[in-house]
Structure 1
Amino acid sequence: MGLSLKRIAGTAAASAALFAGTGAAASPAAADDAAKNRVLVVMLDVQDRVHADPGATKADFAARYFGADNSLKSYYDKVSRGRVDFVPAVPEKVIGPFKLSVSGGTCQPGEIRVKTEALMAAKGFKRGEDYDSLSMVTPRIGCSWSGLATIGRGVSWIQAPRGTANLGVIVHEFGHNQGYPHQPGLVCKDGNLTDCAEGRGGKSPMGGGGTRLGLTATQLIRSGWLDAAEHQRVKDSGTFTLRPLYGEQQGVRALEVPLGEDKVVLEYRRPTAGLDEELGGVYAYRVTKDHYAGGRQIRLGSNDGDGAVTTFTDTAHRLKVSVTSTGADGAEVAISMNGKAAPPAEKTTPVVTEEVEPTPPPTPSDDAPVVHGDDEPPADDAHGDDAAGSPGASADGAGTGTAGAPGSSSEDGTHSMDSGSDQTRLAATGSDATVLVLVSVSAALMLVLGALGLKRTRRNRAHP
Structure 2
Amino acid sequence: MKPSPRLCLIPAAVAAALTAAAAAPAPAADEPQRRVQVAMVNFTDSRIPDAGKLEIALKDNYFGSTGSLTSYYNEVTGGATTFKAAEGDGVTGPVDIDLAATGCDTGKINDLTRKALAAKGVPEDSYDHLSLVFPSEKAGCDWLALGTVGGGTTWMPIGADGKMSMTALVHEFGHNFGYSHHMRLRCPEGDLGAGCKEDGTSHKTPMGGGGWEAGLTSPELLHNKWLTGGEVGEVTKSATYTLRPLYGSGGGVRALDIPLGDDRLVVELRHKSGTVDGEIQGVHAYRVPEKDYTKSALIDPTPDADESTGGEAPADADALKAGATLTDKARKVEVKVVKAAADAATVQVSLDGVAAPAAPAKAAEPEPVRDEAATAPGDAAAPDDAAAPNDARPEGGSTELAETGGDSDTTLAYSIGGGLMLAFGGAFLLKSRTRRVATSSGRRSR
* Class of the TM-score when normalised by the shorter of the 2 chains: 0.7 to 0.9
1:92 CA displacement: 3.3
> Which position in structure 1 is the counterpart of 2:77?
80
Report the number of matched residues.
Answer: 361
Amino acid at match of 2:37: L
Show CA shifts across 1:324-371 (max 9, x none).
112343111111222222221166767554313389xxx99xxxx922
Residues 159/84 of structure 1: CA separation in 2 closer, same or farther (3 Å cut): same
1:406 CA displacement: 2.4
Residues 346/222 of structure 1: CA separation in 2 closer, same or farther (3 Å cut): closer
> Which position in structure 1 is the counterpart of 2:181?
182
CA distance in 1, matches of 2:168, 2:410: 19
> Which position in structure 1 is the counterpart of 2:425?
406
CA distance in 1, matches of 2:412, 2:108: 32
Amino acid at match of 1:191: G
Show CA shifts across 1:388-444 (max 9, x none).
xxxxxx5xxx53637998236689949xxxxxxxxxxxxxxxxxxxxxxxxxxxxxx
Q: Is the 8 A contact 1:239 1:348 kept in 2?
A: no
Residues 337/412 of structure 1: CA separation in 2 closer, same or farther (3 Å cut): farther
> Which position in structure 2 is the counterpart of 1:119?
116
Residues 149/317 of structure 1: CA separation in 2 closer, same or farther (3 Å cut): same
> Which position in structure 1 is the counterpart of 2:220?
219
Residues 60/314 of structure 1: CA separation in 2 closer, same or farther (3 Å cut): same
SS in 2 for 1:176: helix
SS in 2 for 1:81: coil
Alignment of 1:38-77 (within 5 A): 38-77=35-74
CA distance in 1, matches of 2:429, 2:205: 15
Unaligned runs of 5+ in 1: 1-14, 22-33, 376-393, 415-464
Q: Is the 8 A contact 1:321 1:336 kept in 2?
A: yes
1:83 CA displacement: 0.9
Residues 97/222 of structure 1: CA separation in 2 closer, same or farther (3 Å cut): same
1:58 CA displacement: 1.0
CA distance in 1, matches of 2:140, 2:76: 34
Residues 17/139 of structure 1: CA separation in 2 closer, same or farther (3 Å cut): closer
Q: Is the 8 A contact 2:26 2:151 kept in 1?
A: no
1:281 CA displacement: 0.6
Give yes or no for the alignment of 1:357 onto 2:356.
no
Alignment of 1:3-152 (within 5 A): 19-21=28-30, 35-128=32-125, 130-140=126-136, 141-152=139-150
SS in 2 for 1:169: helix
Residues 248/342 of structure 1: CA separation in 2 closer, same or farther (3 Å cut): same
Q: Is the 8 A contact 2:132 2:155 kept in 1?
A: yes
Give yes or no for the alignment of 1:315 onto 2:316.
no
Q: Is the 8 A contact 1:286 1:298 kept in 2?
A: yes
Amino acid at match of 1:44: V
Q: Is the 8 A contact 1:188 1:298 kept in 2?
A: yes
Give yes or no for the alignment of 1:172 onto 2:156.
no
Show CA shifts across 1:58-88 (max 9, x none).
1111101000000011000000101112111
Amino acid at match of 2:55: K
1:320 CA displacement: 1.6
Identity of aligned residues (%): 36
> Which position in structure 1 is the counterpart of 2:235?
234
1:165 CA displacement: 2.1
Query: Normalising by structure 2, what TM-score?
Result: 0.75
Residues 215/90 of structure 1: CA separation in 2 closer, same or farther (3 Å cut): same
Alignment of 1:407-426 (within 5 A): 407=426, 413=432
Larger relative contact order (Cα-Cα within 8 Å, sequence gap ≥ 6): 2
> Which position in structure 2 is the counterpart of 1:290?
291
1:135 CA displacement: 0.6
1:372 CA displacement: 1.4
Q: Is the 8 A contact 1:264 1:285 kept in 2?
A: yes
Give yes or no for the alignment of 1:325 onto 2:339.
yes
CA distance in 1, matches of 2:62, 2:409: 31
Q: Which moved more, 1:138-147 or 1:321-330?
A: 321-330
Alignment of 1:339-378 (within 5 A): 339-345=353-359, 353-357=368-372, 370-375=400-405
Amino acid at match of 1:371: L
Unaligned runs of 5+ in 2: 1-23, 305-312, 375-396, 414-423, 434-446
Residues 238/213 of structure 1: CA separation in 2 closer, same or farther (3 Å cut): same
CA distance in 2, matches of 1:166, 1:139: 14
CA distance in 2, matches of 1:64, 1:290: 34
SS in 1 for 2:102: coil
Give yes or no for the alignment of 1:204 onto 2:205.
yes
> Which position in structure 1 is the counterpart of 2:246?
245
Q: Is the 8 A contact 2:282 2:341 kept in 1?
A: no
CA distance in 1, matches of 2:361, 2:244: 20
Q: Is the 8 A contact 1:138 1:158 kept in 2?
A: yes
CA distance in 2, matches of 1:346, 1:373: 44
CA distance in 2, matches of 1:410, 1:157: 15
CA distance in 1, matches of 2:97, 2:326: 55
Amino acid at match of 1:165: M
Residues 187/111 of structure 1: CA separation in 2 closer, same or farther (3 Å cut): same
1:20 CA displacement: 2.9
> Which position in structure 1 is the counterpart of 2:350?
336
Show CA shifts across 1:132-160 (max 9, x none).
11111001122111111111111111011
Q: Is the 8 A contact 1:311 1:321 kept in 2?
A: yes
1:17 CA displacement: 9.9
1:218 CA displacement: 0.5
CA distance in 2, matches of 1:214, 1:201: 12
CA distance in 2, matches of 1:281, 1:113: 42
CA distance in 1, matches of 2:327, 2:431: 26
